[in-house]
Chain A
Amino acid sequence: MILSFHGKKALVLGGSCDLALTLAVAMMETGIFPLLTFRSEEGREKIAARLSPLGGSYGACYLDFGDRDSLASLLAQGGGDIDYVVDFAQGDFEGYVAAADEARVYQYFNDNVSFRAELLKKVARIMLKRKKGRFVFISSVAAGRTNPGQGFYAAAKLASEALYRNLGLELGRKGITAVTLRPGYIRAGRGKAYLDAHGEDALRLVPTGRFLTGNEVAEVILFLLSESAAGFNATELTMDSGQTAYK
């Protein structure tokens, strides 16, 4: 396997979530410089608290999905030589389709889909200059199988998956590829609160009888960034321990 990452730079979107931080640690251990984005002071502090004590090299930069100025600033500061993008960013929005506030719906899709399209365009054009780049979008099994109240979350994830799929389809010939990972239940981030409340019920749906760990998912993401995984392009991979195979 070709798992050589030394000297590479990764833009990690939504960089203050638990999974992104676990991935950042693994990246630093393998020689990747992670540039993590945060959208609040709390996020910035969370990144610093987890990564600073390790003594390795990393960067942190403000980016708020929906704020185009923050994107311009991010790319001006650290966008010159991006090798990888790993995208964890996703706003929360729970609500029934028949009950959601319309203004919030418009804003949600603007922030989570339209803004993402602008970001992908700009980063892809940076990568095109060097004819090399890899995108990994972290989606969710909820994109394909939702619970009541997750319609907007799933719709934004599916739309984003489509953007990444086409990026890989359109630019693959130019050395730029993209893949989506759909993890199942992970006891981390926004999944932790749900599993703390509904863990036993959720566990019955997982054939392996256990939830994924953050380290397992981070290792798979690293593999997906590697040269060996370049054949996974313009597609979605499900990592749910068999959960969605149930009738």
Chain B
Amino acid sequence: MDILEEITKIIAEILDIEGREITPETYLIRELGAESIDLLELSVAINARFQIEVNDDELFLRTMRFHLRTAAAEGKDAVGYLAGKYPALTVARVAEILADMGGGPVLRVKDIISYIARHGQK
């Protein structure tokens, strides 16, 4: 079973949305309505299933606006700064996120997959 298939199953179970289409592009909060408690449960499930230590802030891109303010205050390039803070994301994905922030929470299923892939599937 690949990560997408596994993570889709976990998300569907936590959000009680079995049968609904979930793709790498699906937004967890914006489209699926995931709440803080659901994300906590997702983090615990990822830890249990993939045997990786999970940093919730990094996994769920929680402190992004704080990092953006810091980058601006320090006169640093936002894309490069965020890519350093979220090493699981590619520079292209960070740029995509920055362009998308006006539409609401940016977290997509592919970000979760990237995090798991980076921290090692066992």
For B40, what are the chain A residues with a Cβ–Cβ distance below 8 Å? Answer: 128
For B47, what are the chain A residues with a Cβ–Cβ distance below 8 Å? Answer: 125
For A125, what are the chain B residues with a Cβ–Cβ distance below 8 Å? Answer: 43-44, 47
The docked-state distance in angstroms from the alpha carbon of A129 to that of B51 is 13
Which B residues between 27 and 65 are near A, CB-CB below 8 angstroms?
37, 40-41, 43-45, 47-48
Which A residues between 13 and 33 are near B, CB-CB below 8 angstroms?
none
Q: Does A104 sit at the interface, judged by CB under 8 A? A: no
Q: Does A171 sit at the interface, judged by CB under 8 A? A: yes
For A128, what are the chain B residues with a Cβ–Cβ distance below 8 Å? Answer: 40-41, 44
The docked-state distance in angstroms from the alpha carbon of A212 to that of B43 is 43
For B41, what are the chain A residues with a Cβ–Cβ distance below 8 Å? Answer: 128, 174
Q: Does A94 sit at the interface, judged by CB under 8 A? A: no
User: What class of interface size applies to chain B in its complex with A?
Assistant: under 10
The docked-state distance in angstroms from the alpha carbon of A60 to that of B16 is 40
Central interface residue in A125, A129, A170, A173, by most chain B CB within 10 Å: A125
Judge whether A129 and B44 touch: CB under 8 Å: yes
User: What class of interface size applies to chain A in its complex with B?
Assistant: under 10
Which B residues between 11 and 34 are near A, CB-CB below 8 angstroms?
none
The docked-state distance in angstroms from the alpha carbon of A125 to that of B47 is 10
The docked-state distance in angstroms from the alpha carbon of A171 to that of B36 is 11
For B37, what are the chain A residues with a Cβ–Cβ distance below 8 Å? Answer: 170-171, 173-174
Nearest CB in chain B: distance from A50 CB, A: 36
For A174, what are the chain B residues with a Cβ–Cβ distance below 8 Å? Answer: 37, 41
Bits for A111-138, please: 1 = Cβ < 8 Å to B, else 0. Answer: 0000000000000010011000000000
The docked-state distance in angstroms from the alpha carbon of A170 to that of B41 is 12
For B48, what are the chain A residues with a Cβ–Cβ distance below 8 Å? Answer: 129
For B43, what are the chain A residues with a Cβ–Cβ distance below 8 Å? Answer: 125
Nearest CB in chain B: distance from A122 CB, A: 11
For A129, what are the chain B residues with a Cβ–Cβ distance below 8 Å? Answer: 44-45, 48
The docked-state distance in angstroms from the alpha carbon of A202 to that of B44 is 48
Central interface residue in A128, A171, A174, by most chain B CB within 10 Å: A128
Nearest CB in chain B: distance from A108 CB, A: 28
Nearest B residue to A125 via CB reads: B44
Nearest CB in chain B: distance from A128 CB, A: 4
Nearest B residue to A172 via CB reads: B37
Nearest B residue to A126 via CB reads: B44
The docked-state distance in angstroms from the alpha carbon of A174 to that of B14 is 11
Nearest B residue to A173 via CB reads: B37
The docked-state distance in angstroms from the alpha carbon of A125 to that of B43 is 9
The docked-state distance in angstroms from the alpha carbon of A121 to that of B4 is 28
The docked-state distance in angstroms from the alpha carbon of A171 to that of B37 is 8
Nearest CB in chain A: distance from B6 CB, A: 16
For A173, what are the chain B residues with a Cβ–Cβ distance below 8 Å? Answer: 37
14 contacts between A and B (CB under 8 A): A125-B43, A125-B44, A125-B47, A128-B40, A128-B41, A128-B44, A129-B44, A129-B45, A129-B48, A170-B37, A171-B37, A173-B37, A174-B37, A174-B41
B residues near A (Cβ < 8 Å) are 37, 40-41, 43-45, 47-48
A residues near B (Cβ < 8 Å) are 125, 128-129, 170-171, 173-174
What 7 A-B pairs are tightest by C-beta distance, nearest first? A128-B44, A125-B44, A129-B48, A129-B44, A128-B41, A173-B37, A170-B37
